[in-house]
């Protein structure tokens, strides 16, 4: 069983744009298995995941529990489809498991859980928990004198949860310079546009006020992301780091980008082929 349909791709010298494109394609193919789901989020966050797994993270695909790895926590459980796509692309998961997404007895459940999937560090899904767990892991890594980072991906919708701000205050208070938060601001949650559901802006000064080094970037601009991740990693200040990523829901498939309420997308059977075609046309 090869870990990828394109032998050697996991280690090939592909550009980050190509990685992001391939992550999008894996995600679309998983979405097609169920015919609906969190496709728009996955397409939106693919550039961030490409930069995370192919530029920033220190990890070993063949040994996802390697003690020296940087941890990547997915707080947003329903973004599992996106993380599976990235883990497939990274060679942690075999590509031929992709068609089991969300099915009985699959290692790829709809909402990400640590016990199910190699490379899945925590069980997300009860939104607002990931950053608290990250604080504990960052403290634990410091106790072990480890140089690993803890990355935590959470969403703008999760900013509604009070526990996120407990954790944000704690990370600032403990000066956790090994903690890198990534917020996906796609301005869409279950009941509609996030800023309308509960306005979290201005976000950057909030994190700064909590003692974080804060950056805000276009989360679909790979060069900007690389610069932001480099700055976060290399910063020589005793502060946690946040990268606020403004992303576009369904990025890369314009007819899905245009759908107004795309938190949970229903895509007609014939539209999947169309979506893959559109993606193919935009291949870098």
Partner 1 sequence: MRRSKYERPVREPAPEGGRAKTSAMIASIAGPDQRTKPAPFGEALATLAQSRPQIVGMTADLSKYTDLHVFAKAHPDRFYQMGMAEQLLMGAAAGMAREGFQPFVTTYAVFASRRAYDFICMAIAEENLDVKIVCALPGLTTGYGPSHQATEDLAIFRGLPNMTIIDPCDAHEIEQATVAIADHPGPVYMRLLRGHVPLVLDEYGYRFELGKAKVLRDGRDCMIVSTGLMTMGALEAATLLARDGVDVGVTHVPTIKPLDEATLLEVAGRTGRLMVVAENHTIVGGLGEAVAGVLLRAGVIPAAFKQIALPDAFLDAGALPTLHDRYGISTPKVVERVRGWLG
Note the residues at the interface with partner 1 (CB under 8 A). 113-115, 121-123, 125-126, 128-129, 131-141, 143-144, 162-163, 166-167, 169-170, 173
Taking the complex as a whole, the smallest distance from the CB of residue 127 to partner 1 amounts, in Å, to: 10
Taking the complex as a whole, the smallest distance from the CB of residue 167 to partner 1 amounts, in Å, to: 5
Secondary structure class of 157 (helix, strand, coil) = helix
Helices 269-281 + 16-34 axis angle, to 10: 170
Taking the complex as a whole, the smallest distance from the CB of residue 158 to partner 1 amounts, in Å, to: 13
Measured in whole angstroms, the distance separating CA 281 from the mean position of its chain's CA atoms is 24
User: Cis bond leading into 120, ω under 30°?
Assistant: no
Taking the complex as a whole, the smallest distance from the CB of residue 166 to partner 1 amounts, in Å, to: 4
Give whichever of 115 and 281 is closer to partner 1, judged by the CB atom.
115
CB neighbour class for 179 (10 Å; exposed up to 12, middle 13-18, buried from 19): buried
Give whichever of 17 and 169 is closer to partner 1, judged by the CB atom.
169
Give whichever of 54 and 149 is closer to partner 1, judged by the CB atom.
149
Give whichever of 170 and 262 is closer to partner 1, judged by the CB atom.
170
**Measured distance CA(31)–CA(51) in Å, rounded:** 22
- Asked whether the beta carbons of 219 and 48 are under 8 A apart, the reply is yes
């Amino acid at each position: 069983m090869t870990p990828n349909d394109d032998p050697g791709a996991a280690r090939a010298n592909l550009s980050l744009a190509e990685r992001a494109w391939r992550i999008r394609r894996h995600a679309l193919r998983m979405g097609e298995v169920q015919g609906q789901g969190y496709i728009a989020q996955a397409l939106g966050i693919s550039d961030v995941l490409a930069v995370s797994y192919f530029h920033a993270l220190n990890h070993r695909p063949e040994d996802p529990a390697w003690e020296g790895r940087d941890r990547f926590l997915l707080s947003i459980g329903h973004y599992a489809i996106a993380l599976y796509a990235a883990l497939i692309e990274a060679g942690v998961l075999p590509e031929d498991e992709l068609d089991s997404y969300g099915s009985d007895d699959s290692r790829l459940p709809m909402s990400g859980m640590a016990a199910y999937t190699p490379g899945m560090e925590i069980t997300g899904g009860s939104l607002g928990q990931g950053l608290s767990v990250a604080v504990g892991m960052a403290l634990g890594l410091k106790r072990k004198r480890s140089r690993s980072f803890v990355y935590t991906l959470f969403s703008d919708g999760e900013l509604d949860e009070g526990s996120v701000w407990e954790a944000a205050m704690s990370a600032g208070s403990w000066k956790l310079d090994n903690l890198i938060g990534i917020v996906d601001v796609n301005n869409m949650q279950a009941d509609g546009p996030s800023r309308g559901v509960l306005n979290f802006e201005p976000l950057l000064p909030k994190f700064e006020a909590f003692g974080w080094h804060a950056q805000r970037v276009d989360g679909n601009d790979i060069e900007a992301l690389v610069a932001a991740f480099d700055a976060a990693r290399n910063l020589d200040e005793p502060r946690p780091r946040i990268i606020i990523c403004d992303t576009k829901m369904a990025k890369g498939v314009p007819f899905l980008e245009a759908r107004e309420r795309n938190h949970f997308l229903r895509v007609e059977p014939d539209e999947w082929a169309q979506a893959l075609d559109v993606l193919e046309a935009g291949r870098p």
